Structure 1
Amino acid sequence: MNSVWPTRPLGALVTITKGRKPRRLVYDAQGGAIPYATADFFRNGKALQFVPTDELKNCVITPKGCPVLIWDGSNAGEVFVGQNAVLASTMALIRPEDSILEEGFCYFFLKTAFNKLNDGTTGSTIPHVSKLTLAALQIPVPPLAEQKLISKLLFKLESAIAVQLRLAAVTDELKRAAMRKLFTHGLRGEPQKDTEIGPVPESWEIRPIGEVFEIVQGVSLKRNLSDGTDGIPFLRTSNVYWGHIDLSIVSRMHMPAEAIGERWLRQGDLLVCEGGEIGRAAVWERDESGITYQNHLHRLRPLDTGTANTKFTAAWLEVGFCHRKVYEGAGNKTTIPNLSRARLAELSMPLPTIEEQREIVAILDAIDRKIELHRKKKQVLEELFKALLHKLMTGEIRVADLDLSALDSSHTPHVAA
């Protein structure tokens, strides 16, 4: 790491203490027991086990704010901010010399060193951080006041990212609740009736999917896969998620266009996974031609556009497969479960009027836009964090040169003293 600041070996500025597993653990915090801090504890903030007070004298307790590393395992080198907890035996406490090195600054430096520490692990059975590699890392040492400014700003960014992640998760749960409500009660305040797919509004029809949609299975690869950027693009099951299609990686195949036949996608087509997570469904919303799909996907196209809306049907399939579980056992009984065309065609689905279908889709689309907004904000903040992390740590830019007033200081979880 090239730095305008002077650098020193990390081992000269920190004390490294490996965690120890207590002889006895309990499952609640009664009697002053404190959390047993594994990597999962730091990731999700929930303690599953606690250490009773009579065991604490034999343990390594992490001070709040002090960096801790995963020492053993495939994620060796990953760093967290310490809490008041007993450190697990698979982790290590990194305690800085506080007259020279601020805890938060040390934590963020260790974030930049993850790849070096993880790639340099030792041990043939269980990989673990090399203490020599860790101690030899050259850490920039700006004045303490600058370290505190840097860590305060980076913590603020981390907090803002966490806020967007939480908001996306909360909005996603709101969507799930809305879907359960909408597909049970509808929008017209009608009485309900019991059906083979569960309670639905009284006026809704229940019909087999094959009576509502043309179902066409995709193209078999038959060793026609392209290894480059030439050929016909096609979608796989790995492109289809619940409610959206991911085009970050699109495969291609060598096949005459005439061999595709009727399997070209049109805007509004519904794709349903035959294999993997069977039933996973999303609508092809792009207005472009020249793309097809593999034989592990079914393409559904309404027989009558005045009867069925594909986005409504995609949402129902998510409810039916994931929430209500009315399609449990829908796959054919083979070694690898699959949803054949015949089996998909006979599954029952609800059919309100096309107007009510569109209104339900509009509600769910509005929630989706909110989820996507939080995801995009999170992505922008993550990119900003990555860009600033290296430049601030090395002194390439200074905190005083930045205007990040848009970040709400109330989201900062750690403020250096």
Structure 2
Amino acid sequence: MYFGRGNVTTIPNLSQSKLCKLPLPVPNLAEQRKIAAVLGAVQRAIEQQERLLQLAAELKKTLLHQLFTHGLHGEPQKQTEIGPVPESWDVVPLGSLAKIGNGSTPKRGNDGYWQGGTIPWLNSAKIHERFITGAYQFVTDLAVKECRLPRVKPGSLLIAITGQGKTLGNSALVSFETCINQHLAYAQFTSPRVMPEFVLWFMQTRYEHLRSISQAGGSTKGALTCGYLKTYPILVPSLDEQHEITRIFAALDRKEQIQLAKQAALSSLFRTLLQQLMTAQIRVHDLDFSMPGATGLGSENSDQRKSEP
């Protein structure tokens, strides 16, 4: 509404004199109250979704600890190098279940490695997706050949072995064949003893441990190695238990995605209403007040319309 009214300098600004001259739409008090009520109702719905997402995250964290410590059947526990686990579960090195390796980054200045590329190539920024279903960078066959890039198979586990912030120690599954950079390691499963999805969820419980190991040498940057990952202990229950545990977390993930979509839709609605109500592109009496939190607005709105010319 006020875009372009500021002073044009290196740093755009709005002087007090220009601010005082800006037109300010002022509806009558009844409509102001109505606008505030509508926006408040949407804001409360957004806050409710935020609380639900927080509760879902806490539930998932609790379940991760419970299921990977006690299992599904409440059986006796045994002490292992990673703490107490169900007595019937095995603890084996990741290298006995999967081929471990990492990738590299072809030179950006070599157009032959990137232009017209069709082979997916991932960096560590994708690790936060948990289930990676697409790539936005691609390399050529020449890059794969000359840089000896590994072709990581679908269903492989990716682990961030370096990174700042929350990246280091995170894991994800990739659903397509891809190349990766040097900041990611892959575990390409070769054993029929494990479900990749189960190992992914187990690795979620080891996130803090992996970060602490990588920084144990005093480095502020931190890094894991493929050699270390080959020896990393993995829990292996029966396939039936793996399937059931994976099913539980898949259901929680679906609910979380629904809540995130609702939150995004409500946030978009709030921004749209804020803009259009404040600029009179839509009038408050044109809205449907059947939304939660807007109880009683309809009768007030009816009274307002009667009083308007």
| TM value normalised by structure 1 | 0.61
Q: Structure 2 CA distance, aligned partners of 1:386 and 1:351?
A: 48
- Alpha-carbon offset, residue 190 of structure 1: 0.9
* Residue 204 (structure 1) aligns with: 89
Q: Structure 1 CA distance, aligned partners of 2:284 and 2:64?
A: 45
What is the CA deviation profile of residues 270-320 of structure 1, one whole-angstrom value per residue up to 9, with x for unaligned ones?
A: 1111111332101113xx55x42212111112111x211112112111212
> Quick one: which amino acid aligns to residue 207 of structure 1?
V
- Sequence identity of aligned pairs in percent? 32
Q: Structure 1 CA distance, aligned partners of 2:223 and 2:121?
A: 20
* Residue 328 (structure 1) aligns with: 212
In the comparison of the two structures, how many residue pairs are matched? Answer: 285
Q: Structure 2 CA distance, aligned partners of 1:252 and 1:141?
A: 53
* Residue 303 (structure 2) aligns with: none
* Residue 205 (structure 2) aligns with: 319
Larger RCO of the pair (alpha carbons < 8 Å, separation 6+): 2
Q: Give the counterpart of 1:215 among 92, 95, 100.
A: 100
Give ranges in structure 2 of 5+ residues lacking alignment. Answer: 298-309
> Quick one: which amino acid aligns to residue 39 of structure 2?
L
* Residue 269 (structure 1) aligns with: 156
- Alpha-carbon offset, residue 220 of structure 1: 2.6
Contact 2:144–2:150, Cα closer than 8 Å, also in 1? no
Contact 2:104–2:149, Cα closer than 8 Å, also in 1? no
Q: Structure 2 CA distance, aligned partners of 1:133 and 1:207?
A: 70
What is the CA deviation profile of residues 178-204 of structure 1, one whole-angstrom value per residue up to 9, with x for unaligned ones?
A: 000000000122100111101100011
- Alpha-carbon offset, residue 339 of structure 1: 0.9
Q: 1:349 to 1:133 in 2, by over 3 A?
A: farther
Q: Give the counterpart of 2:174 among 265, 284, 288.
A: 284
What is the CA deviation profile of residues 53-110 of structure 1, one whole-angstrom value per residue up to 9, with x for unaligned ones?
A: xxxxxxxxxxxxxxxxxxxxxxxxxxxxxxxxxxxxxxxxxxxxxxxxxxxxxxxxxx
Q: Give the counterpart of 1:157 among 34, 39, 42.
A: 42
Contact 1:185–1:200, Cα closer than 8 Å, also in 2? yes
* Residue 295 (structure 1) aligns with: 182
Q: Normalized per residue, which structure has more strand? A: 1
What is the CA deviation profile of residues 29-54 of structure 1, one whole-angstrom value per residue up to 9, with x for unaligned ones?
A: xxxxxxxxxxxxxxxxxxxxxxxxxx
Contact 2:34–2:284, Cα closer than 8 Å, also in 1? yes
Q: 1:133 to 1:329 in 2, by over 3 A?
A: farther
- Alpha-carbon offset, residue 330 of structure 1: 4.1
Q: Secondary structure at the match of 2:92?
A: strand
> Quick one: which amino acid aligns to residue 239 of structure 1?
K
- Alpha-carbon offset, residue 257 of structure 1: 6.2
* Residue 237 (structure 2) aligns with: 352
Q: Secondary structure at the match of 1:266?
A: coil
Contact 1:183–1:200, Cα closer than 8 Å, also in 2? yes
Q: Structure 1 CA distance, aligned partners of 2:281 and 2:53?
A: 33
* Residue 68 (structure 2) aligns with: 183
Contact 2:103–2:149, Cα closer than 8 Å, also in 1? no
Q: Normalized per residue, which structure has more helix? A: 2
- Alpha-carbon offset, residue 261 of structure 1: 6.1
Matches within 5 A, 1:6-405: 135-223=20-108, 230-231=116-117, 232-241=119-128, 243-245=130-132, 250-254=136-140, 256=142, 258-259=144-145, 263-276=150-163, 277-285=167-175, 288-289=176-177, 291-304=178-191, 306-322=192-208, 325=209, 328-330=212-214, 333=217, 336-405=221-290
Please, which moves more after superposition, 190-199 or 393-402?
Answer: 393-402
Q: Structure 1 CA distance, aligned partners of 2:132 and 2:51?
A: 23
Q: Secondary structure at the match of 2:24?
A: strand
Q: Secondary structure at the match of 2:282?
A: coil
Give ranges in structure 1 of 5+ residues lacking alignment. Answer: 3-111, 122-128, 413-417
Q: Secondary structure at the match of 1:234?
A: strand
- Alpha-carbon offset, residue 225 of structure 1: 7.6
